[in-house]
């Protein structure tokens, strides 16, 4: 698989952000119709339908270089994506996500990948 990742063209099927770890998971398929799960960190949450190209260790989303730390690329095994989805609870993932984050435990993202605002202590005290 290492030879394939030197220059790999992919299409995003789905992407999940895990607030408890600050990492993301992306389900993609290749030009050869192989599915992969990519575990990574980034400030950019790829969207379904976007193209990903990995060239010489650099990641490009729709042709734009993005800073990604790819931790692992694995072949997609049946049931794995559903297992990952069940393990991640993030209010931002919902179709109608809230304006402010309602996550009950600590989120490890500096900025919400889904665009939800974090509560600020000054807002809570003002109420």
Residue 82 and residue 110: Cα distance in Å, rounded?
26
Instruction: Say if 14 falls within a structural domain.
Output: yes
Instruction: Say if 107 falls within a structural domain.
Output: no
* CATH code: domain of residue 70: 2.40.50.650
Q: What is the Cα 17 distance to its own chain's centre?
A: 5
- Sorted by sequence, the CB contacts under 8 Å of residue 12 that are 6+ apart come out as 26, 27, 28, 46, 47, 48, 49, 50, 51, 52
**pTM to 2 decimals?**
0.79
Using CB atoms within 10 Å of the CB of residue 90, give its burial: 0 to 12 exposed, 13 to 18 middle, 19+ buried: buried
pLDDT in tens, 29-38: 998 999 999 9
The two structure tokens encoding residue 71: 């931790």
pLDDT in tens, 9-55: 999 999 999 999 999 999 999 989 999 999 999 988 999 999 999 88
Domain count, the chain: 1
- The answer to whether the beta carbons of residues 20 and 108 sit under 8 Å apart is yes
Instruction: Say if 66 falls within a structural domain.
Output: yes
């Amino acid at each position: 698989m290492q030879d394939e990742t030197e220059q790999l063209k992919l299409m995003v099927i789905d992407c999940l952000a895990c607030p408890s770890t600050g990492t993301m998971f992306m389900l993609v398929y290749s030009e050869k119709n192989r599915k992969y799960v990519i575990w990574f960190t980034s400030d950019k949450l790829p969207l379904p339908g976007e193209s990903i190209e990995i060239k010489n260790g650099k990641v490009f989303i729709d042709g734009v270089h993005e800073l990604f730390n790819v931790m692992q690329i694995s072949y997609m095994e049946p049931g794995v994506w559903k297992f990952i989805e069940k393990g991640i609870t993030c209010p931002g993932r919902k179709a109608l996500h809230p304006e402010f984050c309602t996550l009950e435990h600590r989120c490890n993202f500096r900025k919400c990948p889904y665009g939800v605002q974090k509560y600020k202590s000054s807002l809570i005290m003002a109420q």
